[in-house]
Amino acid sequence: MSVQPEQATEALMLLAEATRLLYEDQPLQQRVHRVFELLRGPVSFRDARLTCWLQSAQPGTARQQYYSARGWPYPWDEALTRRVALNGVFESRTIVLSNEAAGDGDLPVMQAAYLGTPIFWGGRLWGVIELRAPTGTNLVNLGREMLTGLLPQLAIAIAREGRREPVPAGLVPVSETPTGLTLEPQRRQQLSELDTNLEQMLDLHELLSLLLRRTIEATGADAGAIVLVDHQRRQLILQLAEGYPTSLQQGLTNQGRQRFNWEAGSAGQAAHTGQVVLVRDHTTQTGLQPTWAGARTELAAPVLLGDRPAAIILLHSTRANAFGEDELSFMRALCRRVANPLNRAIHYQEALESANYLGQVFASLPTGLALIDASGKVLRANPAWSEIWGFRGALTRSPFHVSFDLVELLLPRLQDPMRLTEFFTRCQRNPAELQTTRVRLVNPNQNLQILSVPTSDSQHRITGRLWAVTDVTREGEADRLKHEFVSMVSHELRTPLTSILGYTELLLNREFTAPDRMQFMQTVFDEASRLSQLVEDLLSISRIEAGKVQLNRWLTSLHSIVAELTTQLNTQLARHRMLLDVAHNLPPVYIDRDKVKQIIFNLLTNAIKYSPNGGQIVLAIKETDEADLPLDHPPGRWIRIAISDKGLGIAPEDLPRIWERFYRVDNTNTRRIGGTGLGLSITRALVELHGGRIWAESELGTGSTFTFTLPIPGVNVGFRQRLADSV
């Protein structure tokens, strides 16, 4: 319904008059009174009230209320006023007027029309203006029009009145919140103390503890608890409990943050209605189960964030009717004031928890991670970051710039420093792009994969990069092994097969003299032996890797093994001189005879193979003690077996790798010599199966010494017995 034209003119004139009245130089009370009288007829209300919050020079606000003189005797409904203050304009054709609360039963209960408008102007709530009229009166149209028109003038009048000092005589200032709560001075004091404390608190637990303690003190409750509301799961999460009997208290607090279904009890009801729930006496009031069996009075007050309860303060008393209007008002005011600090603390807690969680993930990931700013400075790095580059402690250099510090520190190990430098440049030039590269380090050999991802802030502005560095050496190793296996097998198979096929074809197709035939047959035999050795080596290595090799150990004399081997190898020693330096008094060793023979055989054949120009080969065996062993060798009594040659020698960078499967030193000499790269890895595995160690010393062009140890068994009954058995 809109206002008719004639009504509009009338309304404008009224507005002009009311505005003039409001600007007169009289106390506000008189001016408001005259405005009400002016409007009473045209708007046809029965009574009117202006509630305003004057901002005085003292802290807080003072509420004053001005009534129209000839009103109904019915009291105004403060809850309605509060509702208008909180939620805006409220109109109803049928509110109930009664005077029960004042105990004046003579007045008949009646219905009325109601219109309440907040005086909200200039970003602030100044007051609430309310009109009541007999039902059927068209309050809403003109009334609303008029009130809306008057809002700025009323706000200005209230603002001016507030600045007057002192507060007009006869009006007792009461401190309250603009939503209409009147509080005793003592309560005010309690609230404002709490306010100051809460404002400074960020820690959720600290805040809730203080809140609960103060609430219990202020309301005289016997016990209380605070729960947070989980709307998604419709649950309450217990945060704190205080004052309950020891057994219950321990049960509540020991089990950490317990969750409860929110359907049950007063706290649940407060959580899903957002209203304060008060059970005055559990013994007479049915409906809600007491949260604590010992309680008679129970109060559950929700702290609302927006219109959603975020927490419930639960208070219990063993007395009936322990909480009255005073406590209710206090709790309402308290819950409103707590809302902001609680919201802040919950967010802070969430931020802390997620930061903590992310921090743990960051610290425990095996990938090296570093957050880097736009200039390349490391802001934060996890432990794996320093470890992966192999410079523990070097990151103490502060600030640390990836672009120069990293390259400088890695320079001795970087195989291709330019590659890393180019990578920085690429990252710098394209700050919003993901970049990736691989870096190869030597000493020890390491392949690293770098992923550099742009990072941005909450406004989506690029802030720098996150570097994630992964060690991919093992993956590279697997690739290398595959590659080397294929090339070795193809070479080692093809070469003997080609000569076997070639010579047998010759033998089949042509006649040869007996000595020639012998020579061809010998070559075929040698090549077939080489093939058989290859197959044997491949089987050995796969058995060793599968853990299937078991030692068949006996107490054995090494002299017999040496004797057998020298006879066996004699034919191959055309260009070499073999020197045996074997101690006479060697104790017997507890070994697998065949395996140890294989170890020495492998080392001797290598010594022969890799000294193509001949020279002296020494096989030295003696008992030794710790002084004669490498530093990291286990202590005890050992037999030390060393095989030296005066051959090609091994370069220092190859020395640590000769034990790897399929690893062959790659140069013209070794290529000519041929081999599988398996011998030494099998040898090492067999030595270690016996509990010994093996190592090599070598100088390129001078020769090599391969040494291994075998433990001398402690003399005990078991060994004596076996010794006796084996003799």
Q: In the complex, which residues of this chain contact ligand ADP (CB under 6 A)?
A: 606-607, 610, 645, 647-650, 658, 663-665, 670, 675-681, 704
Give the DSSP letter string of 506-534.
HHHHS---HHHHHHHHHHHHHHHHHHHHH
Residue 438 three-state SS: strand
Q: How far is the CB of 679 from ligand ADP (least distance, A)?
A: 3
Closer of 47 and 484 to ligand ADP (Cβ): 484
Q: Which CB contacts under 8 angstroms, 24+ apart, belong to 190-197?
A: 190/214, 190/218, 190/330, 191/330, 191/333, 191/334, 191/337, 194/334, 194/337, 195/337
Least CB distance from residue 685 to ligand ADP, whole Å?
A: 11
Q: How far is the CB of 698 from ligand ADP (least distance, A)?
A: 6
Q: In what order do the strands lie in the sheet with 277-279?
A: 259-261, 235-242, 223-230, 308-317, 297-305, 277-279
CB of 622 to ligand ADP, least distance (A): 20
Q: Smallest gap, in angstroms, from Cβ of residue 409 to ligand ADP? A: 32
Residue with tokens 């055309």: 574
Q: Is 395 or 650 the residue whose CB approaches ligand ADP more closely? A: 650
d(CA 709, CA 514): 48
Smallest distance from the beta carbon of 656 to ligand ADP, in angstroms? 11
C-alpha–C-alpha distance, residues 62 and 175, integer Å: 5
Count of beta carbons in the 10 Å neighbourhood of residue 618:
17
Residue closer to ligand ADP (CB basis): 83 or 609:
609
- By DSSP bridging, strand 90-97 and strand 235-242 are unpaired
What is the C-alpha separation between 349 and 338, in angstroms, rounded? 16
Name residue 301's beta-bridge partners. Answer: 313
CA angle 324, 328, 331 (to 5 degrees): 140
Nearer to ligand ADP, 561 or 650 (CB): 650
Q: Minimal distance in Å, beta carbon 719 to ligand ADP?
A: 33
State the helix-helix crossing angle for 28-43 and 5-22, rounded to 10 degrees. Answer: 170
Least Å distance, CB 387 to ligand ADP, is 31
Starting at the earlier edge strand, list the strands of the sheet with 378-381: 378-381, 368-373, 462-471, 446-456, 435-441
Choice between 32 and 665, CB closer to ligand ADP = 665
Whether 649 and 699 have beta carbons less than 8 Å apart is answered as yes
Shortest gap between Cβ of 606 and ligand ADP (angstroms)?
4
Of 593, 590, 611, 592, residue with least CA distance to 718: 590
Q: Which is nearer to ligand ADP, 555 or 658 (CB)?
A: 658
For ligand ADP, the closer of residues 182 and 605 by Cβ is 605
Whole-number minimum distance, CB 537 to ligand ADP, in Å? 8
CB of 682 to ligand ADP, least distance (A): 8
Taking alpha carbons only, the member of 577, 567, 584, 569 closest to residue 621 is: 584
Q: Cα 412–416–421 angle (5° rounding)?
A: 95
Between 466 and 618, name the residue whose CB sits nearer to ligand ADP.
Answer: 618
Name which of 403 and 676 has its Cβ closer to ligand ADP.
Answer: 676
Nearest residue (CB) to ligand ADP, 237 versus 689 = 689
- Least distance from C-beta 424 to ligand ADP, angstroms? 38
Q: Which is nearer to ligand ADP, 201 or 607 (CB)?
A: 607
Question: Under a CB-based contact definition with an 8 Å cutoff, are residues 373 and 383 in contact?
Answer: no
336/315 Cα distance (integer angstroms): 17
Give me the residues paired with residue 555 across strands: 590
Q: Are 261 and 233 in contact (CB under 8 A)?
A: no
**Nearest residue by C-beta to ligand ADP?**
675
- Encoding tokens for residue 589? 């060793």
Q: Which C-beta is closer to ligand ADP: that of 343 or that of 495? A: 495
